[in-house]
């Protein structure tokens, strides 16, 4: 028996899920049974590309396809309602980061899943980057000594909020869209909980474009092991920048250091051909991140997808297969982020915004005793 998987949201991020599960279907490891999206043109295009049945209403899709699991790739602020509906229908869920943009919403999702014995997995794909895995091993093995401090940055080009997410960028921020990746990654790498955060940010460029959200945010995070991290997130890099995202992390300990440049993986290209993208503006250097996603053709001419952006999604499919074979969510282990991990990333992001609105004041992340393992002791947000 293999998992029957459906997807909610067929946009740019939803397509990554479709690619991942379509490949699993070709390999006999899953069945892709449906796609829900409110845009009929998207449904038609994805049907042509992946042969997946389309539904304008995800509730109808759940009823007609009866999947074992659902991947949710909607805009951030729509994750909660879709996840709760799927869980109430008895479906395991994979949710794009952030799990939700409120702590009460996260608690709703986690509590419901745990009450019903269902898997909630959050797509923090940077955990699946083998470079980050190596860094985690070095930290765990004591090779870097005691962690003293670190720095992470994740920065998108301006076309992401201005064009890709134009209809909802003002309901998000570089914290929610990007920073949560690094908050989760740091916590996972060093196996420590966050103690406090302070943050500063700027609103200059996007607000002039009619998008009322932060251009950039700098967060200073203190850990309960005595270390600290600075995380910079922004989405206003020039359109001519050589990659959609610029990202990296460095960790310094008493005995060593490791740096990962997640943007420049050693492949560079410069093209002056007319007719597409950056080339329209003249010669442009590009540094593709083939570690995140790549596509090759197999012997039959069919596409095969790879990279940690695919692996993180397929991991969910394999986890659901294990559950169908008799495992429980608690038995799974592995690299993936579960619902409680998703809640912790949201806790930090919410505190970053609290600090921003408070003029950069320090916010105590353990003020209510709910950081880390005790995260669910607060009442669920049943009014959402």
pTM attached to this predicted model: 0.92
Question: Any alpha helices (H) in 11-129, and if so which ranges?
Answer: 12-26, 40-50, 58-65, 79-88, 103-116
d(CA 314, CA 29): 9
- The pLDDT value recorded for residue 276 is 52
Give the per-residue SS3 of 108-160: HHHHHHHHHCCCEEEECHHHHCHHHHHHHHHHHCCCCCCEEEEEEEEEEECHH
d(CA 213, CA 233): 13
Task: Give the tokens for residue 344.
Answer: 């912790």
Label residue 78 exposed, middle or buried (CB < 10 Å: 0-12, 13-18, 19+). middle
Full set of structural domains in the chain with CATH:
3-126+303-337+371-377 (3.40.50.720), 130-288 (3.30.360.10)
227 secondary structure, DSSP code: -
- Percent pLDDT > 90 in the chain is 83
- The pLDDT value recorded for residue 274 is 56
The predicted-structure confidence for 281-308, as pLDDT tens digits, reads as follows: 544 778 878 889 989 988 888 889 999 9
- The pLDDT value recorded for residue 350 is 98
Q: How do 92-96 and 120-123 pair as beta strands? A: parallel
Residue in 97, 96, 7, 3 with CA at minimum distance from that of residue 50: 7
The predicted-structure confidence for 208-240, as pLDDT tens digits, reads as follows: 999 999 999 999 999 999 999 999 999 999 998
- The pLDDT value recorded for residue 279 is 43
Average of per-residue pLDDT across 271-283: 52
pLDDT band at 383, cuts 50/70/90? very low
pLDDT band at 379, cuts 50/70/90? very low
């Amino acid at each position: 028996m293999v998992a029957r998987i459906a997807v909610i949201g067929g946009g740019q991020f939803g397509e990554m899920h479709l690619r991942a599960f379509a490949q699993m279907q070709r390999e006999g490891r899953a069945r892709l049974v449906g796609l829900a999206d409110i845009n009929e043109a998207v449904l038609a295009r994805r049907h042509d590309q992946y042969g997946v049945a389309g539904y304008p209403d995800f509730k109808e899709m759940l009823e007609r396809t009866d999947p074992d699991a659902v991947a949710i790739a909607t805009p951030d602020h729509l994750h909660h309602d879709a996840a709760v509906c799927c869980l109430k229908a008895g479906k395991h869920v994979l949710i794009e980061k952030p799990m939700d943009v409120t702590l009460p919403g996260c608690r709703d999702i986690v509590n419901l899943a745990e009450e019903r014995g269902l898997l909630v997995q959050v797509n923090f794909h940077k955990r699946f980057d083998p470079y980050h895995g190596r860094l985690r091993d070095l930290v765990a093995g004591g090779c870097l000594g005691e962690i003293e401090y670190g720095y992470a940055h994740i920065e998108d080009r301006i076309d992401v909020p201005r064009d890709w997410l134009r209809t909802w960028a003002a309901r998000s921020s570089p914290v929610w869209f990007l920073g949560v990746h690094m908050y989760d990654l740091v916590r996972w790498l060093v196996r420590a909980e966050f103690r406090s955060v302070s943050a500063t940010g700027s609103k200059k460029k996007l607000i002039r474009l009619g998008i009322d959200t932060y251009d950039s945010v700098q967060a200073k995070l203190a850990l309960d092991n005595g270390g600290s991290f600075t995380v910079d997130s922004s989405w206003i890099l020039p359109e001519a920048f050589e990659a959609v995202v610029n990202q990296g992390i460095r960790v310094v300990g008493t005995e060593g250091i490791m740096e990962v440049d997640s943007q420049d993986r050693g492949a560079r290209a410069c093209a002056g051909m007319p007719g597409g993208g950056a080339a329209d503006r003249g010669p442009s250097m590009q540094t593709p991140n083939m570690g995140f996603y790549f596509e090759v053709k197999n012997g039959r001419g069919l596409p095969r997808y790879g990279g940690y952006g695919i692996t993180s999604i397929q991991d969910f499919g394999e986890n659901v297969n294990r559950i169908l074979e008799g495992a429980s969510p608690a038995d799974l282990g592995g690299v993936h982020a579960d619902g409680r991990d998703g809640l912790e990333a949201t806790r930090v992001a919410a505190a970053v915004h609290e600090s921003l609105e408070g003029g950069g004041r320090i916010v105590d992340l353990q003020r209510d005793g709910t950081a880390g393992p005790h995260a669910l002791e607060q009442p669920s947000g049943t009014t959402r």
